[in-house]
Structure 1
């Protein structure tokens, strides 16, 4: 009896396999946006927030072959609509349900959470044996990179109250001011951000200058946020503008870096970015979670760099702490909610538009 059952089970499994096909990550149909590690082309690794995989497929069946990690969450967009939030803590075949229509569909898989939540391994997708796959239509020509901390990561954007403790599932970088701004300009968005990190000093450090945990400028060259061994090739992607929002964690407690040290390190970071990208406009943002002395020090970085290094393509945007309503604009751990992030985006978009001479749409704000 047991042999008969095993034979039947084997037949069922073989039949299921015959009805599906696996499309591996090195298939040219996949378009990758963000920093990825292609060392193993069959198992692509990534961890920075907002990294996305685009493709088109035909039919009503789609499953991801993925190892997402216990603390990572992903937005699955089908035909430009959020279909579901995916959580795949172990190596699994994750089926997307409820896809309607046997024709062509677009898909985007976006990592909501930041690198500290874990590294993701993408192993491809599973489709019906008769389904087709094709490359996504061209990504936006405009490109912006956002460099920052928890605010830029979208930390707690989906939290209900500021008293609510942070949970990975409430982090959604797609609702951060970075992606809101990119959508307004119809631009591709790279986010290089990590909660708690500063220019000189990380959040909670008992020293004025952090030495045990790398600051954001110290890990900026990495392909993976949490892996120091892989260096990103900056020739792969060049933004038309860079937005930096750092300094909040440097000045978040009474232990603060010396002003001269902060300004010097910030200037050095800007010069490093110049080596990678040339004379693209760089916008240095301060706020809204802390005010002085971060506000004045970041502004001095910009003003002195424009004089000393003749860096005329460097701009300061100050976001005041009173921009956010404490009863309606805050999510988990007193971080900006989606409503707060919208206000931030509305504050910075006109300045970027004027410098770049870009038009933008405001439909997300209505």
Structure 2
């Protein structure tokens, strides 16, 4: 036998010995069930083991390889719609419309065949109803857990939700209320990302400390402990899931509102506001005893009402600090007045960036 033939035979035998058989290959994971995801924010697994996304900006992440992945999502409303939004490889992309009450496969195209990371967010608030995730399909798919960075919880109203901010797809006055929601670009998530902090949003449009923008109820103290942030919910939120370093509370805009001109509206009662706000801070402290409480004013409240709100917040701080002399003092932040250009007097996406820039040094110091 020629030397060249012996050498070739040797190479073939060596390759055969060291190459794993097809049956021993590790299978490529193709599907990620909703129960395997690691969401951050208010959500829960329902009886069908599907993930229901509840609160504004509740989010989950996953990695995959290949050019695309598919998210199976739906809502329990045959005539309605809702919105997700997502980051691809660390870059924000767009909102994704979820329609009807049947499973809707949503494909995300990555553009190339490499490894990719996706973070998916609920763009809308709890009152718009849950978005339900059934599964995600892609090659080598794997759930990602949020980092262990400090957590900020943002409690607030429509401004905190990012409501009426994004008119890129649906202009003001068109569609339904949540068509302009963009929780990802609200001031809270913006400033948290700038600080490399985690965040959750507990926010409800139109809500205040002791009344709504046009009615006497519900108020934030009535819904905060409800899983869905709505009064009719019999399920209570499990506050042991998270331990915020800071709890930011931005309420008062709707308490000071003059109403809609239809429902009877009594003048703003500062004594009730201070009493109920103080009690609400006590409720929050009972959930998170070690958290720093930060009270934020409203950029939408101007003139005499701005001064009134600031005076009320100062009184609330004094009350709480006196009740908890051994705890870290309540912190105050007063926004600069803003003439907003979003829908119905709300901050736009660009103006939320202004608010986040204002807040950044304040939260940086607290962290």
Residue aligned with 2:135, SS: strand
1:218 is aligned to: 222
Indicate if the aligned counterparts of 1:140 and 1:186 stay in contact, CA closer than 8 A. Answer: no
What residue is the counterpart of 1:260 in the other structure?
Answer: 271
1:135 Cα deviation after fit: 2.8
Q: Which residue does the alignment assign to 2:59?
A: 52
How many correspondences in the alignment? 320
Q: What is the rounded CA distance, in whole Å, between the counterparts of 1:62 and 1:168 in structure 2?
A: 26
Name the structure 2 match of 1:106: 117
Three-state SS of the structure 1 residue aligned to 2:213 is coil
**2: distance between equivalents of 1:283 and 1:85?**
30
Tell me by how many angstroms 1:338 deviates: 2.0
Is the aligned partner of 1:200 residue 2:215? no
Q: Does 1:148 align with 2:156?
A: yes
Q: Distance in 1 between matches of 2:357 and 2:297?
A: 15
Distance 1:259 1:64, change over 3 A: same
- Is there any run of 5+ residues in structure 2 with no aligned partner, and where? 1-27, 259-264
TM-aligned CA distance change 1:275 to 1:320, over 3 Å: same
Please name the residue that 1:246 is paired with: 251
Pair 1:185-2:195 in alignment:
yes
Out of 323, 326, 329, the residue aligned to residue 313 of structure 1 is 329
- 2:50 is aligned to 43
Do the aligned residues in 2 keep the contact of 1:201 with 1:256 (CA within 8 Å)?
A: no
Distance 2:38 2:48 in 1: 13
Q: Secondary structure at the match of 1:197?
A: coil
| Contact 2:71–2:106 under 8 Å retained in 1 | yes
1:6 corresponds to which residue? none
Match of 2:11 in 1: none
1:299 matched to 2:314? The reply is yes
- CA shift at 1:308, angstroms? 4.2
The two structures, once aligned, show a CA RMSD in angstroms of 2.2
Aligned to 1:65: 72
Q: Which residue of 2 aligns with 1:82?
A: 92
Kindly name which structure, 1 or 2, has the bigger radius of gyration based on alpha carbons. 2
Q: The residue matched to 1:339 in structure 2 has which SS?
A: helix
CA contact (8 A) 2:38 2:145 kept: no
Secondary structure (helix, strand or coil) at the match of 1:33 reads coil
TM-score normalised to structure 2 length: 0.81
SS at structure 1 position matched to 2:272? helix
The 5-angstrom pairing of residues 5-44 of structure 1 reads 21-27=30-36, 30-40=37-47, 42-44=49-51
Q: Are the structure 2 counterparts of residues 334 and 309 from structure 1 closer, same or farther at C-alpha, using a change threshold of 3 Å?
A: same
State how far apart, in whole Å, the 2-side matches of 1:320 and 1:22 are. 48
- CA 1:20–1:314 in structure 2 vs 1: closer, same or farther (change >3 Å)? closer
Q: Does 1:94 find its partner at 2:81?
A: no
